[in-house]
Amino acid sequence: MVIDRKEAVAVLEEIALLLELKGENAFKIRAYENAARALSTMEIDFETFVRSGEIAKTKGFGKALVEKLIVLVETGTLPFLEELRAVFPASLLKLLQINGVGPKKVSLFYHKLGVTSVDELEAACKDGRIAGLSGMGKKTADNILASIERSRRFESFFHYYTARLTADQLLAALRDITGVQKIELAGSLRRFREVTKDIDILGVSEQPAAVMAAFTTLPLVAETLSRGRTKSSVVLTNGMQADLRLVAESEFANALQHFTGSKEHNVALRSRAQSRGMKVSEWGLFDVSNGGETLIPCDSEEAIYKKLGLCYVPPELRENLGEIECAETGVMPTLVTEADYRGVLHCHTFASDGANSVAELVAHARGAGHSFLAITDHSKSSFQANGLNEERILKQLEQIRDLQKDLKDFRLYAGVECDILLNGDLDLDDDVLKQLDIVIVSVHSGFSRNKRDMTERVVRAIEHPCSRVLAHPTGRLLLRREGYELDWDVVMAAAVANNVAIELNCNPLRLDMDWRLWRRARDQGVRCSLNPDAHRLSHFDFVRFGIGFCRKGWLTANDIVNCWSTDELNQFLGHP
DNA sequence: GCCGTTTTCGGCCCGACTGTTTTCAGTCG
């Protein structure tokens, strides 16, 4: 039995949760969590990684973890995990997902009441058994019931786009409250995580009590979970949780840094501070080198990083995935900005499954200040999307050439989003593809093939001489459908060798290729094409946040073909 | 369980809020 990387990550994560239930040392638990996280971002063949001994040289994998993972690779099972599973039924892990219920409570409920599932916990809350436990009371039981109800009523995660628009609405409402001097977004939304659980907002006010009162009674707020002087939590009408923290002006920079996270980034920063005789928290940076606690004033996030011997780390990069090591060198990449973006290379008209005409899309793109636009409707195999056959594509090509004649300082490219067939062939005749300015290739069928077959299929499409962009390369739909697996080493190498860009599709459901892969792709020489995959004019707005995901992938304007001049792009497309 | 220029033991990031208790444990981020 072969254990792959994903399975190993799942094993480590499960061990961490079970150890929590067991009440193990928190640092031991963290060691498993860190190892799982490290492994999940590595692009390695897990078995080779373990067998070759490479694992033992990797930070975070000590003697105990290496030994366990060797057993896992060699036998396909891990007795250590089996023993833990025998102590706690697997269903207990689900209880940990209930807000306000942590390992201690789960363990208590299990041992005292035999509770093993959410339904049983609900029953125990209702019939008074929970309130009867020592240390628990009626309020605890009521809160657990409310949490269970909330988790059933709403999915716990939201797509970035939904969450961000909700957050922007909330920010605007908060800025209108009397006594609010400053309001900023923090947390995972500021860091551009693709899905998010809650909205974290940080504010400055000299009248925190009044502001908290106003916040918890906003029309957007459905329910107040907690309300303190510096922190309040609410559930919004759409089911999202939002937290507001208030601090004094002098504390703002430190608080913003702290509440932007990630947790892992902050742990690393605090550890760094400690090793330099300092202490960092949401309240400030302190010199603790001579036993006391002397505040080191920081009026900006830049100042905090500087005092810690680092250059500024943009929020998108704060995941403790190498950004601190990079900041230590004094040189950070100049990340792409919204102003660098010059045009969309993937959109649909009503000829296939879009809502607008070519002319409408052109007008919209020009209105947005873009320099070029590529029309890329679906090809004939995507019949569910009314894909175009050779004849219809050629007709559209003619229409586009006509439109171009009247366009000054704007390049309109004729293209197609051509289906990659099961064997890796493209869906349209070569002599038609050759006439187009840009051919985007993508998979829309046969998602369940295995990794090897999918890799071969995609690489074959990349190697087609007309291919220029590989679109939404895994086909994932966030919170709905896993993407198919690809051997990224092979796919990226093929993309570089054949001068094919890989798309970062910024449709909020896709965000595909994932930000975690981009730094590595860029280092290998892969070009990115950032596209909204627009099916209507409003989808052009996806680019605004798409830029954030490019930044999260460490990309500069130079790495993204959509940020190039029309001349440079023409050269890339082979159409001077 | 990991780690090491105070190095093989003894550290390991920090604080707010809640609910239950009279000083604190659990949870969360």
**How is A74-133 classified by DSSP, letter by letter?**
HHS--HHHHHHHHHS-TTHHHHTTSTT--HHHHHHHHHHH---SHHHHHHHHHTTHHHHS
Question: What are chain A's domains?
Answer: 5-87 (1.10.150.110), 92-153 (1.10.150.20), 158-247 (3.30.460.10), 261-328 (3.30.210.10), 338-573 (3.20.20.140)
What mean pLDDT value characterizes chain A? 91
Confidence of residue A60 (pLDDT cuts 50, 70, 90): confident
Question: Are A196 and A158 spatial neighbours (Cβ–Cβ below 8 Å)?
Answer: yes
Give the pLDDT confidence of A130-152 residue by residue, as tens digits: 988 888 888 889 888 888 887 77
Looking at chain A, the whole-number percentage of residues with pLDDT higher than 90 is: 59
Indicate if CB(A102) is under 7 A from strand B. yes
Give the pLDDT confidence of A213-222 residue by residue, as tens digits: 999 999 999 8
| Nearest-nucleotide field for A106 (CA, C1') | B26
Question: Are A106 and A130 spatial neighbours (Cβ–Cβ below 8 Å)?
Answer: no
Evaluate if residue A31 carries a pLDDT over 70. yes
CA of A103 to C1' of B27 (A): 9
**Which residue's alpha carbon is at the shortest distance from the C1' of B11?**
A27
Amino acid A324 reads I
CA dihedral sign of residues A120, A125, A127, A131: positive
Indicate if CB(A280) is under 7 A from strand B. yes
CA of A441 to C1' of B1 (A): 46
Question: Are A60 and A35 spatial neighbours (Cβ–Cβ below 8 Å)?
Answer: yes
In this prediction, residue A94 carries a pLDDT of: 85
Indicate if CB(A23) is under 7 A from strand B. no
Looking at chain A, the whole-number percentage of residues with pLDDT higher than 70 is: 99
> What 3-state class would DSSP assign to A548?
helix
Indicate if CB(A274) is under 7 A from strand B. yes
Indicate if CB(A230) is under 7 A from strand B. yes
Confidence of residue A571 (pLDDT cuts 50, 70, 90): very high
CA of A86 to C1' of B28 (A): 28
**Alpha carbons A367 and A369: distance in angstroms, whole number:** 5
Indicate if CB(A221) is under 7 A from strand B. no
How many residues belong to chain A? Answer: 576
In this prediction, residue A378 carries a pLDDT of: 94
> What 3-state class would DSSP assign to A138?
helix
Give the pLDDT confidence of A83-112 residue by residue, as tens digits: 888 888 888 888 888 888 888 899 889 988
Indicate if CB(A114) is under 7 A from strand B. no
| Nearest-nucleotide field for A29 (CA, C1') | B1
Q: Which of these, A246, A263, A248, lies nearest to A299 by C-alpha position?
A: A248
**Alpha carbons A511 and A188: distance in angstroms, whole number:** 16
Indicate if CB(A57) is under 7 A from strand B. no
Strand B nucleotides below 7 A of a protein CB? 1-3, 11-21, 25-29
∠ CA A440-A451-A194, nearest 5°, is 65
Indicate if CB(A20) is under 7 A from strand B. no
